[in-house]
Amino acid sequence: MLKNNNYNRIFQIWLITLVILVGLIITVGGLTRLTDSGLSITEWELFKGIFPPTSSVEWLQYFDSYKKIPQYFLLNNNMTLSEFKIIFLWEYSHRLLARIIGILFLLPFIFFLLVNILNKNLITQLRNILVLILIQGSVGWFMVKSGLVENTSVSHYRLAIHLIIAFSILVSLVWILLNLLNKNEKKFFHLDKSTITIKFLLTLLFLQIVLGAFVSGLDAGKIYQTWPMMNGNYFPNDVTPYSLLDFSNPSIVQFFHRNIAYLIFFFTIYLGFNIFKKKEINLYANFLFFFLFILVQIILGILVLISGSNIYLASMHQISSIFLILTGVILYYHSIKS
C-alpha cells in the first residue's frame, strides 16, 4: 500500500493513534450526553475556545451565556457556577479532542503526500476520511444548535448523524490499518455473495447504533425499566398501531432498540453456525471475539435498564459498542477472500 516501506512503521503508529483517539472521542461524547453537558458551550468557537476559561470573569461569561438557553431556565435554574464548570469541562474535553484529531490527521496526511509514499487508492481513502472529519465538525455544531432555542436537549436525529459519522471515520481508519497489516487492498464495499450474511449483520449493527443514539437523545432508557417484558407487556402499553413508526416516541425507540438487539443475537448465532459448519478455521477466533462482545453488549443493555439507567453502566454499554463494531469489522475483513 505504501510506495516506501521505510515509512511503514510511522504510518501504522499514526493510524493506531487516530483509531484510539476516535474511540476516545466517541466515549467522551457519550458521557457528555449522559451528563447533559453538550449545551454548556453555546457558541461554536472554532479558534477562540482552544483554551478553557482561566479567570472568574471568563467563567461567568460562559455561565451567563448558558443561562440564556431553555435547558438552564427550564431544568437547571438552581445550578451553581461550580456545577456548571463540571458540565462545561465535559463539552470542552469533547471539542478539544475533536481539534486534536483534526490536526493529528491533517498534518501527517500532508507530510505523507509531500514525501510521496501513498498510492492513488490510499490517497482517495484518506481524503474521504478528511472530508468526513470536516463534515463532522459542522454536524456537531448543527446538533448543538438544535438545543439552544426551543428545546432542552439536542435533536436525537442530529445526534444519530453525528454518531454514525464518528463510527464511519473509525471503521474507515481500521480498514486501512487492516489492509496495511495484512499487506492487502481489500475493499469495504466488496461485491461477493459469500459475505452477504456478515454484511447484513454489520448493517443491523449500524442500525442499532442509530437507535442507540435515539435512546440516548430521548432518554428512552428511563422508561420501561424492566426486562424481558416492558412493564409486563411485549409491546409498550402507551403505543398505538398508528404510532409504531414514530421515532420521536421514547417507548417506540426503546422497543425497536430491544428487538434489533434480539435479531442481532440470533443472526450472530446463525452466522457462527455457518462458519463452523463450513469449517472456516481462519474465522473461528474472530467470530468468538465478536460473539463475546455481542453477549457483553446485551448484558450491559439489560443492566442499564434494570439499574434505572445507571450512568456508569450506560457508559460501559456505549464503550462496548465500539469494541463490538471493531470486532465485527475485523470478522468481515477476514471473511473476504483475497
> Could you report the per-residue pLDDT of 195-208, keeping only the tens digit for each?
899 999 999 999 99
Percent of the chain past pLDDT 90, that is, above it, reads: 81
Residue 86 shares a structural domain with residue 176:
yes
Same domain, 233 and 181: no
pLDDT at 25 over 80: yes
Q: What is the mean pLDDT of residues 75-103?
A: 94
pLDDT at residue 6, as a whole number:
77
146 and 262 share one domain: no
Last residue of a domain, one of 185, 210, 245: 185
Q: What is the mean pLDDT of residues 229-255?
A: 88
Query: Which structural domain range is residue 91 located in?
Result: 1-185
- The pLDDT confidence band at residue 240, using thresholds 50, 70 and 90, is confident
Q: Do residue 197 and residue 178 come from a single domain? A: no
Please say if the pLDDT value at position 255 is more than 80.
yes
Residue 4's pLDDT band, with cuts at 50, 70 and 90, is low
Number of domains in the chain: 2
Say yes or no: 77 and 222 in one domain.
no
Chain position carrying cell 470486532? 327
168 and 273 in a common domain: no
Position 175 pLDDT exceeds 90? yes
Q: Which three cell numbers stand for residue 281?
A: 478455521
Same domain, residue pair 179 and 196: no
Long-range contacts of 281-285 (CB under 8 A, 24+ apart): 282/334, 283/331, 283/334, 283/335
The pLDDT confidence band at residue 242, using thresholds 50, 70 and 90, is confident
The whole-number pLDDT of residue 8 equals: 87
- Are 264 and 142 in a shared domain? no
| Rounded-to-integer distance, Cα 301 and Cα 216, Å | 12
The mean pLDDT value of the chain amounts to: 93
End position of a domain, from candidates 154, 185, 216? 185
- The mean pLDDT of 64-80, rounded to a whole number, is 92
Shared-domain flag, residues 18 and 148: yes
- Residues 202, 175, single domain; the answer is no
Are 178 and 245 part of one and the same domain? no
Q: What is the 3-state secondary structure (H, E, C) of the chain?
A: CECCHHHHHHHHHHHHHHHHHHHHHHHHHHHHHHCCCCCCCCCCCCCHHHCCCCCHHHHHHHHHHHCCCHHHHHHCCCCCHHHHHHHHHHHHHHHHHHHHHHHHHHHHHHHHHHCCCECHHHHHHHHHHHHHHHHHHHHHHHHHHCCCCCCCCCCHHHHHHHHHHHHHHHHHHHHHHHHHHCCCCCCCCCCCHHHHHHHHHHHHHHHHHHHHHHHHHHCHHHCCCCCCCECCECCCCCCCHHHCCCCCCHHHHHHHHHHHHHHHHHHHHHHHHHHHHCCCHHHHHHHHHHHHHHHHHHHHHHHHHHCCCCHHHHHHHHHHHHHHHHHHHHHHHHHCCC
Task: Give the cell for residue 298.
Answer: 446485551
Per-residue pLDDT, averaged over 264-293, amounts to 95
8 φ/ψ angles, rounded to the nearest 5 degrees: -60, -50
Q: For residues 53 and 155, state if they share a domain.
A: yes
Of 185, 207, 226, which residue sits at a domain end?
Answer: 185
